[in-house]
């Protein structure tokens, strides 16, 4: 039991580590629950629970300063308890959200002390003490990882009997109701995604995706699993910043031509895209200054090269890049490349140092809008749909497919972005705004994302209304009649209902609880399945 508790704790710690890295997206239930299944000797249950919880937490994504319930610890513990006690996915679903919400509250209490460490990092950077900045980075990150390990291991070790007692007390129809709610809640996750990307101009593309999936037999990102088998997170809020970028001298396109000793090379840029800072962009994230420490560490070695032999200027530059920063993590190296092109100009006295942070601030909002649309609202959803479908079929390749689909483009963008950002220099911002490039990209990405959401409302909504109408051979269920009118109609109705409720600023937690109640009542009277 102790060994299992430690292993479960290590899975939770790994998930927290990845969450704070902001890199692989391995902290999601679709990845962690199969790992829990492996360490507890029941991979198939881990796959099934991971797929169900991924749908439950589909809309649970961190955007801007919003931090959702802790799906990492919630998913790990819910899956672990379900396997240990021999319970169904419905029991795991019943446990996941309360645990996730409690863990978020604990994490928020811990976060209250972190600004002290952020301020110390500021002091160290002003002294040119890079080791001190690293120390604060790791100290902030490790507090979260240790917390996740202790919560998962101790809760699993101490809580099994209490959890079993609670499950024995719950009537069977209530657990069945949780299963019904799990079939309905994907619609809320899709609605939350819709709130991120859907505009009046894009509404037709939602229906196009839905209709193609319903009538043209165009498969969505994932297919509806066999029902019998099934039952056995507005774009990122704009960061503080000024736009357009300030007018600067020498803002033309930049290329890597001459190579004096202190000039940034392609190798320097590639290394910066995969170093501790870049891959740990959210490792030391705080409400206070968010990704500031990690960004500083990402560019520190290049700053050291640019200001070689000028320790005071180096310390000033290091401190400059400890300012507030937040962006979709895959775009951070791109901004870093632009910033280093500007730092070379600062070192030569061609522009003012303050202009570097002005440009960084101006880039945060637009690039985050594009990045969140691409990675969180589109690519993540496609990856989840494919992974969920495979997991529902008991295929252990499901989590791997999810990780590959999400990460291969992400790492390619990191490396390409660092080099391209340096080549373009600060002239990129003026050019992008002049040509409307950013708006065009966001529109195209939005169309794809909305069509994916429409298709998934058809393919990944599994609730049904099994109420029989008629008798004998002519008997039909209400679900059959609805599907005859329009296949998948119930999923589309649920999506728009949730979308409307979310637009009325109703808390998602309230909607989850209400859905659980509807599921329980529906299961009790046999009108929902």
Q: What's the length of the chain? A: 529
Distance separating alpha carbons of residues 427 and 8, to the nearest angstrom: 50
Got the DSSP string for 367-429? HHHHHIIIIIIIIHHHHHHHHHHHHHTT-THHHHHHHHHHHHHHHHHHHHHHHHHHHHTTHHH
Bridge partners of 468? 477
> What pLDDT score was predicted for residue 132?
92
Q: Global pTM?
A: 0.69
* Helix/strand/coil for 244: coil
In 170-231, which ranges are continuous DSSP H helix? 172-184, 186-197, 203-215, 227-231
> What pLDDT score was predicted for residue 169?
72
* Helix/strand/coil for 290: strand
Low-confidence spans in the chain with pLDDT less than 70: 22-23, 59-68, 88, 97, 101-112, 160-168, 182, 193, 196-197, 216-261, 287-288, 426-439, 441-442, 445-446, 449, 460, 472-473
Largest CA distance in the chain: 91
> What pLDDT score was predicted for residue 479?
86
Is 173 exposed, middle or buried, given 0-12, 13-18 or 19+ CB atoms closer than 10 A? middle
Distance separating alpha carbons of residues 287 and 108, to the nearest angstrom: 10
- Helix (H), strand (E) counts: the chain: 24, 2
Distance separating alpha carbons of residues 456 and 187, to the nearest angstrom: 9
CB–CB of 329/281 below 8 Å? yes
Helix/strand/coil percentages in the chain, nearest 5: 70, 0, 25
Mean pLDDT (the chain) is: 79
- For 146-205, write each residue's pLDDT tens digit: 888 988 888 888 776 666 566 567 787 887 787 787 678 778 777 876 776 688 888 898
- For 308-340, write each residue's pLDDT tens digit: 889 999 999 999 998 888 888 899 999 999 999
Distance separating alpha carbons of residues 492 and 500, to the nearest angstrom: 12
Contacts of 509 (CB under 8 A, 6+ apart): 69, 97, 101
Q: How far is CA 360 from CA 275, 296, 355, 442, in A?
A: 20, 12, 9, 19
């Amino acid at each position: 039991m102790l060994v299992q508790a430690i292993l479960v704790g290590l899975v939770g710690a790994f998930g927290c580590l990845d969450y704070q890295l902001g890199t692989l997206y391995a902290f999601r239930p679709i990845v962690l629950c199969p790992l829990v299944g492996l360490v507890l000797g029941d991979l198939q249950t881990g796959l099934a629970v991971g797929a169900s919880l991924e749908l439950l937490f589909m809309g649970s994504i961190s955007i801007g300063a919003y931090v959702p319930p802790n799906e990492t610890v919630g998913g790990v513990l819910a899956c672990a308890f379900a396997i240990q006690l021999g319970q169904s996915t419905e029991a795991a679903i019943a446990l996941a959200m309360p645990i996730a919400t409690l863990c978020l509250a604990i994490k928020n209490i811990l976060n209250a002390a972190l600004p002290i460490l952020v301020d110390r990092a500021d002091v160290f950077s002003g002294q040119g003490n890079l080791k001190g900045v690293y120390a604060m980075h790791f100290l902030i990150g490790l507090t979260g990882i240790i917390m996740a390990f202790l919560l998962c291991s101790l809760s699993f070790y101490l809580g099994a009997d209490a959890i079993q007692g609670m499950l024995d007390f719950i009537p069977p129809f209530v657990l069945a109701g949780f299963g019904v709610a799990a079939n309905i809640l994907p619609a809320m996750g899709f609605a939350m995604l819709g709130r991120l990307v859907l505009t009046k101009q894009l509404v037709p593309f939602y229906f196009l995706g839905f209709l193609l999936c319903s009538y043209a037999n165009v498969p969505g990102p994932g297919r509806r699993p066999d029902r019998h088998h099934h039952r056995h997170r507005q774009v990122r809020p704009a960061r503080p910043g000024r736009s357009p970028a300030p007018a600067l001298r020498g803002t033309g396109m930049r290329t890597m031509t001459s190579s004096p000793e202190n000039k940034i090379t392609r190798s320097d840029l590639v290394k910066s895209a995969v170093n501790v800072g870049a891959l740990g962009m959210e490792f030391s994230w705080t409400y206070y200054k968010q990704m500031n420490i990690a960004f500083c560490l990402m560019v520190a070695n290049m700053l050291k090269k640019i200001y070689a032999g000028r320790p005071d200027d180096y310390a000033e530059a290091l401190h400059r890049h400890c300012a507030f920063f937040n962006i979709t993590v895959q775009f951070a190296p791109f901004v870093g490349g632009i910033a280093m092109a500007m730092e070379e100009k600062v070192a030569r006295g061609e522009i003012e140092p303050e202009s570097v942070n002005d440009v960084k601030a101006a880039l945060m909002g637009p690039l985050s809008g594009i990045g969140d649309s691409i990675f969180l609202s589109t690519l993540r959803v496609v990856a989840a749909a494919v992974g969920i479908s495979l997991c529902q079929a008991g295929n252990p390749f499901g989590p791997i497919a999810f990780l590959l689909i999400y990460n291969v483009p992400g790492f390619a963008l990191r490396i390409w972005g660092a080099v391209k950002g340096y080549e373009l220099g600060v002239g990129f911002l003026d050019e992008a705004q002049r040509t409307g490039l950013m708006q065009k990209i966001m529109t195209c990405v939005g169309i794809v994302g909305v069509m994916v959401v429409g298709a998934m409302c058809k393919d990944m909504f599994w609730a049904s209304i099994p109420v029989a109408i008629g008798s004998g051979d002519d008997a039909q269920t209400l679900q059959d009649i609805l599907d005859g009118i329009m296949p998948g109609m119930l999923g589309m109705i649920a999506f728009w209902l949730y979308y409307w409720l979310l637009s009325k600023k109703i808390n998602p937690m309230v909607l989850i609880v209400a859905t659980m109640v509807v599921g329980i009542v529906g299961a009790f009277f046999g009108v929902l399945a």
